[in-house]
Structure 1
Amino acid sequence: MKVLAPISQIEEVEMLVHNGAEEFYAGFIPTDWIRSFTSGVWMNRRATQASIPAVEEFAKLIERSHSFNIPVFMTLNAPYYTQEQIPLLLDIIGEAYKCGTDAFIVSDIGLMMAIKAHYPDAGIHVSSLAAPLNSESVNLYRELGAERIVFPRSLSLEEMAEIMDVGGRDLEYELFILNDGCVYEESFCFTTHNQVGAFCATQNWDFQFESAENRELSLREQEKLASHLKDYQDFVWFTHSCGSSVSDHGIPLGPCGLCALPEIAALGIDSLKIVGREANSIRKLASVQLVSEVVKSVRQGMEKKKVQERAIAIRKTPEFCESKYMCYYR
């Protein structure tokens, strides 16, 4: 159960390692990609600002990380790639592979097959965007050469356990532990969250309530609908990291699975993913410190109730925890 941290620049390596990071994942988008397809066509699920722009810099980040025995995984998790993009992608992957990239996080099945055809020994981690939602999909990805499955956020721990039992314990499994979420099933989303804001998150809608019989709603019905809408708006706000905000104590707010860590450890999950390649270094640091502190408690054998109390105490926003809207694994 390792702490997997986002990273986007070499200066963050030592800071994150010394505060508990045990694996890194990073984006690498060279200028060749931007020249060919523009920065508007994302090579992974983050804009260019969240990725490393030059192979030399990416190589140095890997070298520095490896000096601490920390593996580095490269994100290639766009929902799909066109046939025109594959040759350049393979060249970029070849450069990253020569630099010592430990695995590639991939969502497109065609790209998985292309990587294995050209670089048979390259590690493949199946992105949550590839919808590994059941044991049959996991079996397919194993046949394609995958080493690790990244579970989508929508799965419960019980569903993960069943998939691992049926799909096979010979693979590694990873889940989301902190920051950011999706109000739908991200595996089936083909949009990006740009500066304007995604439709699912902004909720700037014009609407009105109407009955199926075209009659006027009663006051009680209107109140109930307004209450349900308020609940949904709260859910969306929490899911999208509480507006990407932090608490008064500097702790990132938003989706969190820390209270479930005892069950996650018992399940046999290999890696705990912290979301936030696009975040500033301070937010990454606070996230890593928070997760690793609670992980440490679990490794020391602290009982479940005490672990939950510790996680809530460290967060220092009990009212948000009590809402349950922030819980990945309720």
Structure 2
Amino acid sequence: MNILAPLGAKEEVEMLAESGAEEFYCGITPMEWMEKYSPGVWINRRNPYAGFPSFKDLEEAVRRAEAYDIPLFLTLNAPYYTEAQYPMLIDLIKRCQEEVGIKAFIVSDPGLMAAMKSQVPKAPIHVSSLAAPMNTGSIELYKQMQVERIVLPRSVQLNEIPALKEAAGDIELEVFILNDGCVYEESFCMTTHSAGAFCSQAQWNYVPQHADGNKSLTAAELDTLNEQVDDYREFVWFVNDCNCQIAHDGLPLGPCGLCSLAKLDSMGVDSLKIVGREGAPYRKLASVQMVKAVMEQVRGKAAEEEVEKLARKIRNQPQYCESGLMCYYR
């Protein structure tokens, strides 16, 4: 399994490569796109300022990554694009493949995938998790489109992966391993966070009401409701990277799958995605170092129990691990 790290700037390449990154992914929002569609129309699943500002910077990042023999993948994973946007996207893909040196494109829109197969057939496609490749039927669809990798959504669990791997055959599988969750299923989300992540706000005010407007909630019903609301707010807190906090030892908090690395390896998973192109460099560095430390045990053929023990030790947050709410793979 390779460690896939996010890039937000060319200056991060050496730091992350030296710390254990084995693949990179990033975004770009060319000025031409912003001038035509405005910064509010995202070209990928992160705001325009989370990606590279120019082809020049992107090309330099590719050159630096190539010095470490590390491939760089480009995200074009907006939930969908209009047909009128395809020509500009195809031109971007051609330039990035032929001139910049991008090794693959992470895509969520099946229409764009079809356009790529028709007009840029040699451009490798990695199916984004936003394309909802979460069952064998969807895997078969993308298999027919001759993609090279499929990124499984966050909601896919360990007991589901073997069947998806069997259906994928020679197609690589990538899974989430650290940072950032989603309150719902991101694959079916047709919006962005440009107005704030309103879907994950849990500190709302409400007035309890009975389904029958002529009745009032009993004390027991009100207690049950309040308990459920508190549980939901706790869940949202974990999904939002524990309220975007940093642990006392400086490590980033938030959704994590480190305990499951040995299991994922035995299932034939090919790549481990660390989330956070827009994150601070230190967050990316600490994340790569955590994954690498556990992966060294996996590659050394340590038992699953030993891998899990080390992951919990590195995490050093027993109360969060025991809650189960910070786990990608529960």
- Please classify the TM superposition score into its range, dividing by the shorter chain length: over 0.9
Q: Residues 61-120 of structure 1: CA distance to partner in whole angstroms, max 9, x if unpaired? A: 111111211011000000000111111111111111121111000000111111121211
One-letter code aligned to 1:109: P
- Aligned-pair CA distance for 1:192: 1.1
The alignment status of 1:101 with 2:70, answered yes or no, reads: no
Measured after TM superposition, the shift of residue 211 of structure 1 is 2.5
Aligned-partner Cα distance in 1 for 2:209–2:312: 42
SS of aligned partner of 1:21: coil
Q: Partners in 2 of 1:245 and 1:147 — Cα distance? A: 36
Residue 253 of structure 1 corresponds to 253
* Residue 204 (structure 1) shift: 4.1
How is 1:94-243 mapped onto 2 (pairs within 5 angstroms)? 94-98=94-98, 99-165=100-166, 167-194=167-194, 196-214=195-213, 215-243=215-243
Maintained 8 Å contact 2:165/2:268: no
C-alpha distance in 1, partners of 2:140/2:171? Answer: 10
The more displaced of 215-224 and 233-242 is 215-224
Per-residue Cα deviation, 1:1-34 (whole angstroms, up to 9, x for no partner): 1100000211111110111100000101110110
Q: Deviations over 1:203-230 (max 9, x none)?
A: 2433222223442222122111111111
Which digits, 9 at most, give the CA deviation of each residue in 1:24-66, with x for residues without a partner? 0010111011011011100001111111111111111111111
Report the Cα offset of residue 255 of structure 1: 0.3
CA-to-aligned-CA distance 1:247-300 (integer Å, 9 cap, x gap): 111111000001111110110000000000000111110110011111111111
Q: Match of 2:34, SS?
A: helix
Hey, what's the Cα distance between the residues in 2 that align with 1:51 and 1:200? 23
Does the residue aligned with 1:84 lie in a helix, a strand or coil? helix
Are 1:55 and 1:95, in contact at CA under 8 Å, matched by a contact in 2?
A: no
Deviations 1:292-322 (Å, cap 9, x if unpaired)? 1111111112222221121111112111111
Q: Secondary structure at the match of 1:104?
A: strand
Aligned-partner residue type, residue 291 of structure 2: V
* Structure-2 residue corresponding to 1:309: 309
In 1, the alpha carbon distance for the partners of 2:226 and 2:169 equals: 46
- Structure 2 residue aligned with 1:281: 281
Secondary structure, in 3 states, of the residue corresponding to 2:153? coil
**2:207 maps to amino acid:** Q
Separation of aligned partners in 1, 2:139 and 2:19? 33
CA distance in 1, matches of 2:82, 2:300: 48
Aligned length: 328
Q: Percent same amino acid at aligned positions?
A: 49
User: Match of 2:286, SS?
Assistant: helix
Matched residue of 1:191: which SS? coil
Relative to structure 2, which stretch is displaced further, 31-40 or 113-122? 113-122
Q: Give me the CA root mean square deviation.
A: 1.2
Counterpart residue type for residue 197 of structure 1: G
For residues 295 and 164 of structure 2, the distance between their equivalents in structure 1, rounded to whole angstroms, comes to 24
Q: List alignment gaps of at least 5 residues for structure 1.
A: none
What letter matches 1:271 in structure 2? S
Question: Residue in 2 aligned with 1:33?
Answer: 33
Partners of 1:326 and 1:24 lie apart in 2 by 24
1:145 CA drift (Å) = 2.0
In the other structure, the counterpart of 1:19 is: 19
2:114 maps to amino acid? M
The alpha carbon displacement at 1:236 in A equals 0.7
Q: Is the 8 A contact 1:3 1:20 kept in 2?
A: yes
Partners of 2:3 and 2:246 lie apart in 1 by 21
Q: Structure 2 length normalisation: TM-score?
A: 0.97
SS at match of 2:175: strand
